[in-house]
Amino acid sequence: MPELPEVETVANGVNARIAGDRIEDLWFSSKPEPMKTPPAAMAKALTGRSIERVRRVGKHIVFDFAPDPKREPVQWIVHLGMTGRLVVVDPGVPRPPHTHGVLVLHSGRELRFVDARRFGRMGLHLIEKAKDEAVELPGFRGPGTEPLRISKVDFRSLFHKRRTSIKAALLNQSLLHGVGNIYADEALFRAGIRPRRMAARLSTRELDRLHGAVQKVLREAIRLGGSSVSDYVDAAGERGFFQLRHFVYMRTGQACLVCGTPIRRLVIAGRGTHYCPICQH
DNA sequence: CATGTTTCCTGACAGC
DNA sequence: TGCTGTCAGGAAACAT
């Protein structure tokens, strides 16, 4: 499931392959769920555009285009949801099932959005002024704060009044953007904090430890190409390796890698939550 | 406003 | 073998 490290890996991979290419043609499936913007409007706005850069903002993938004085500035935004894939393929490769969007590029290659479960989204963002950070497309949530850039002080103030569990707060994208279920569990383990603790009751020291753990775990995961837990692959179809470094996620009943105690599972905010009852307090 | 719960989807898997 | 039921979860929509 794509969280910040997986989305970053995909965005960088797509960028490396198609930056500078031009959109010649577009195709979209008839499934309404993945479309934040009607397909006809997306096709009209994007045909002929030159792709300047592809980058990650939060869990969103943002496509920036070369300025065109005759046309309104736009961005194309893709969210991978649970099972979404964005892959660049050479001409002639058969389209797999659950393909919902295809950009046919000038080079002949295709950028495809494939998503079995249809939790992913594609949409157009009309911009008046080019904005570097914000994703304000109606229907797409604002970016919250980038966890890799937030300072210790800002991190503390994000959570210190929240009367909910720290796990739920970490998953709240209007606070921190990009942390999902895997990295919330892994960061809480590394910080030695139980997921059910109320955010507002954490000490400054604990919040500082969590700040460090979130950044460390995300950086390490980016370095390893993300976690391939279900079917995640990057833009070249390669799996990541961070799943080999998981201490708790999906390890219910298995021995804690630090103390040997069986890992426990509970449900918080509707998500499976994994922790060590000895290492985390 | 803040927080909790339900819903959308299909593939994988367990159990019979 | 093939069916049924359960589970996985990001985030919008809805409820409290």
- pLDDT for A274: 92
| Distance between CA atoms of residues A181 and A207, nearest Å | 18
Separation CA A134–CA A130 (nearest Å): 10
> Residue A184 belongs to what domain range?
152-275
Residues A79-111: tens digit of each pLDDT: 999 889 999 999 888 888 899 999 999 999 999
Residues A170 and A255 in one domain: yes
Per-residue pLDDT tens digits for A111-142: 999 998 899 999 998 876 445 444 555 455 56
Q: Is A94 a catalytic residue?
A: no
Q: What is the pLDDT of residues A162-212, one digit of tens each?
A: 999 999 999 998 899 889 999 999 999 999 999 999 999 999 999 999 999
For A46, other C-beta atoms within 10 Å of its C-beta total: 19
Nucleic strand B under 7 Å from the C-beta of A163: yes
| Same-domain status, A255 and A164 | yes
Q: Give how many domains chain A has, as a whole number.
A: 2
Q: Is the pLDDT of residue A56 over 80?
A: yes
What average pLDDT is seen over chain A? 89
Does A175 lie in the same domain as A122?
no
Q: For A206-255, how does the pLDDT look when each residue is reduced to its tens digit (9 = 90+)?
A: 999 999 999 999 999 999 888 777 666 677 777 788 877 889 998 988 89
Q: Is A238 a catalytic residue?
A: no
Strand B contacted by A164 CB (< 7 A): yes
Q: Is residue A135 part of a domain?
A: no
**Whether A12 and A110 share a structural domain:** yes
Asked whether residue A280 is domain-assigned, the answer is no
